[in-house]
Structure 1
Amino acid sequence: MILSAILTEEVTLTVLPANNVESGTDVILRCETSVSQSLPQPLTYSFRLLQDDQVMYSKNISASVMERSLSSARVSNSGRYQCSVHIYDKHKTSNILSLSVTGLQIPMLNVKSDIMSEGEDIIATCSAPEETGSLIFNFYENDLDVKRVISSSNSVTTTLTTQKLTEIYLQCAYMVIMHPNAGLSNKSNMVKVIVRGNNLDAITPQISFSPKGNVVEGDRVQITCKVQYPPDIELYLTKGNTVLHESHTTFTKSLVVRAEDSGDYVCKAEKGSVQKKAVFPLHVAELFSKPILRMSPDQVFEGERFTLTCSSNVISSVKIGIADIKYVLLKDGRRISAVAKYEDTASPATNGQYYCMAMAKEVNKTSSPHDVKAKGDEFMLLSNVLLVNFPSHRRCFGIALSLPVSRPVLEPKEVTVSEGSDLILICRVQQGTYPITFTWYHNRVMLLSSIQEVRSLEGRHVVKVIERDQRGDYYCEASNYASETKKSYPVRIGGTFFNSNTSLPFVHSKVIVELLLNCNAYSRATPPPAPSRFLPPRDL
């Protein structure tokens, strides 16, 4: 085999002129290998030079010697060096040599402007153009270390804040991050910065409101934030922690106010680190009170009429009258009426959360919610006193009671459903007295037009042309005159297909179960009487 004719004797690494040099010295790293071979063709040597176990140079050559020059070596070139050589599948490494470069360049400091106004920031640049590697720069103000900045290059620009009217003397220094033992460089040249005073009254803002008199909900208020010295000014209008408007010059903010807009409005002017502000307290009187939604009667049975009334009191009678307040009634977030008084007949379909809104002069207020849940039909047990003297005198009484049913099952009709097809949802109960009302929900939101009242143990709802955003959890609710609504566990429709054979949850439902009170012995084969609210006594 041809590779067996190659033998790498040794690999030697040398550093010239010495292992310890001053910063700025030209250094040569020389890697040389000795190879014995019996092949007639020249060999290719793959050299790699490592600094602190990291490859910093590599080269493929036909010579057995490789040199790497470090022109004007710097502290960042210090480290432990090693050389490796690959010839075909032969590999050998050299000895390890340490190179120590001492001495750091003195940095240079300059500023964008050496004459500043109070509050203005000093823009300073510190650089060591001959250094390499990542550096930490320190900035000094009158010999005090005021800021430290890390940079991946040999230069950094930063902002220094002035707080006093004085002369400031700035300097900088740096350190090589990977070689902290090299220490901190000497300080840079000194730069003198003169900070002059400003006419602070010129940047002190003024705030004013129009109208200046009493302010009532629905009024349009003009808020003006004014400053005399606009150049390089940041002007803000705030209320609490909210910034309402910002600008570089005088501005006016217009808004229609409500009672909750009462509070302190602040106009702030900022120039550099100097900040001035003006405060104006605003009180907004209520136009009308928060509406109250009342129900009469307080409790209602299915089939009974009930009334919802929304009312509010006029507080600022100079602005509006009672006839100016308009009302809207909402059920479960949907508008159902635009009058203050609403009447309906209680049923499972009227169950829900109601609230109303009162509106006047661009102001609207919402009442607290009111839950309406109709109770099941009332029933009365009537009885007659009957004296039975003979065995042939027998009486039978029948009565229908409202009782809950077993849980139903929600299931899809199709085995798979893909985007663009119809999704058929079946809500089925095992038992229950008719009629039964079924309602379907998607992600806890009722599906439009999904309420069905049927005389059957199951209801069906079709989601036409199902789309991607109609994936998610579906469930249904069932109820009847027992006035107890129950819902199923959710069925998840996810991805492009789903398996309808998965075990599905039950649905709440209500059922009227007939109870027959019979004073006569019936045969097991004899059917019970038809259910009714009350069956009068009859002779047998």
Structure 2
Amino acid sequence: MCEHQRPSHRIGTCCLLCLLLLLLFTCQRVKADVSIDDLRLSFHPSPNVQRDTNVTIKCHASVSRSSGFSSPQYAFSIKKDNKELHRTLSTSNTYDYPIEAARVSDSGSYQCFLSIEGKSRSSEREKLKVTGTHKAVIRVDRSSIQEGDEVTVTCAAPGERGSFIFFFYVDNKEVRNNESSSEEYSVQLRLKHSGPNNLTCDYTIRLFSESVPSAISRQAIVVVREIDISVLLTISPSMTIIEADNFSVSCMVNSPNKSESVLLIKGSNILSTGKGKTDYGQTAGTGHSGEYMCKVEINGVFKIDKKMLTVKELFSRPTLTSSPPEAFEGDFIRLSCQSTNVSLESIRKEIKYSIFKDGNRRSINNENGQMTARAGPSADGNYTCLAEAKLISKESPVIVIRSKVLASKPEISVKDKVILDRPFQIQCKSNGTLPIKYTLFEDDKVVYEKTVHHPREEALFATSISRKEHIHKFLCRAQNSPRVHVSSQPLKAFVVEPLGKPLLTTLPVPDNVEEGSELILICNVPSGTPPITFKWYWDSSSSKAHLHTSTVNANSSYHTIQWMERMDSGEYFCEAVNPANNVKSDPVTIHVKLASWKKVLIGAIFLLVVIALILVFIVRCRAKRGKREAATELSVKPASPKSDDSLAVNMGLDTPFLNKVGVDIVPSVWTDRQSSSDSSSDRSRAPSHNGPDVEYTEVVHPQPLDPARVPLKKGTDTVYSELQTAPLDPSEHVDNGTVEYAELNHDLPEPVD
């Protein structure tokens, strides 16, 4: 910006900008370098002073500022009870606010406020208390007035300031109070009492949180002069008269002009009014007895005169009576009407009486206040009687005749179920006029009594029995007349006997329950009233189930399970329920056994297995014994290799194996001679691998030739061998699949060449 101007102008402009920046920087420093450290408020000479003391409120501030900073402007303000009193600017850190000749109204809570360069602070609240008030001063404009005139009364609080409440008293009784901000207040009072009246006043100064009363003023006496006026009340012929006599009441004003309005009053009724005088007259009745008042009002002042008039009864109000006081249907009722108090005996015979029923005169059996009637619905109603003499009539109070209905034969019943040895309620009920007295008997002995007074009330008696037949021992009696009572029939009710503990039995017995069999669960209770509900339950270690429910009119019932399984094992129990109670049986444990046919089958299988094992054992034993005997016989004479090979072939065994076990194979021939073709066929057969083959071989053992011995007798040794051949595996033992049976016959035929 400065580059486009002339050099002199550029220098001036730059200097001006620098000066503005410097001033701005200085202002920022000043604003930031002022701190109000503390602000305190105090009262001098003291915070508690007497009236008329000069008090100074001091505000002292402690302010910190940077060096070279000029004296700031201190903005002080003072508040009293949150209302600002004064505001000022000062260059000093202390401000004094004077209160000259302090008054009670200056008492309160003061606080000082300070503001410097946008920063502010307030002091703590301090209280100033000023005690002492000026005694109230009373003034009246007149010391003597006439009755009915007003007097001006002024009450002043000289030298006081603030808000006031002024109180005015007449003969120490407060008659007026008013608020004012002025130190005095005037009112207009009308004094009611004639003669001297003592007037006083006082005031209260209202502060922020309290009120301070002043001392009461001296007395100001105002004399009230009575008005020269009076009233006169007269009653003629006298103030005590008899009914039917004429009387008059006169009210008169005694004043110079006699133009005042006068009132004749009896009770709250104005009988007559007039100017200066008024009269009232009537034929006397009992209602005319009482106080009569004559009244005149002048300028708010009342003048009165009172007199009492007494009117005696010519005859008293009649009374209607009935005999007997309470009558039951069919009884005779006698009604009588009579006035008991008659002023003049000569009048007694002149009085006429009439009886009314429901407002209508009864003409039948009605003779001068006497009548008879038979109790019943036609005689029921409201009755009054009327007495008349010398144009005066008086009516008796109303009596109500309601013929009573005798209590009917009561009905006896039970309120709820009857359970042995438990409380139950017996109800007695009868129709008739209330109140009815009910009495409960048991075996002609009074058990309970109760009187029913209201239609909704019931005659209930609590009792209990221990045996069923005792229920018929109860009866009740109803009575609403002292002469007559009626009794009910003996009580009839269904009695419920509680159930005894049930017993659960089973068919068959718990130890004989087999699979597939039928189980009958029988639940029986030793005692109890049917109908009874029986319930059966099954409980095992893993589950629980409700099996069946049956309601019967008997003491036992049963439930059948058609097919028992092993899983049905567990505990079984039953529950019996009737209106009296519910009971449970002890549990019965059932273990379902294996079925008999399964046992027989398992036994048969086991027996067959045992027999088979025995047979196998016997066969093996015999085979081993025959093999040993055959080996013994064969070893008597050495056999030719050819014979050994032939036997080995016939037996299906290798010759080396037989030699290894020490068996000598000798030539043998079949007992039955076979053709060469059969022999070659048999020898050509190989052992079958499809099943065991049995071969029978007859072996002829030649006798050894001993020259020393005698030639052998004719005979043969026959060896029968039964060979059961099985397929042979070269890797297995050669004797694994062979069973041999050998029979030696020592009576062999002689060898044949």
Which category describes the TM-score, using the shorter chain as reference length? 0.3 to 0.5
Which has the higher Rg, Structure 1 or Structure 2?
2
Which structure has the highest helix share of the two? 2
- The structure whose RCO (Cα within 8 Å, separation 6+) is larger is 1
TM-score (norm 1): 0.46
Which structure has the highest strand share of the two? 1
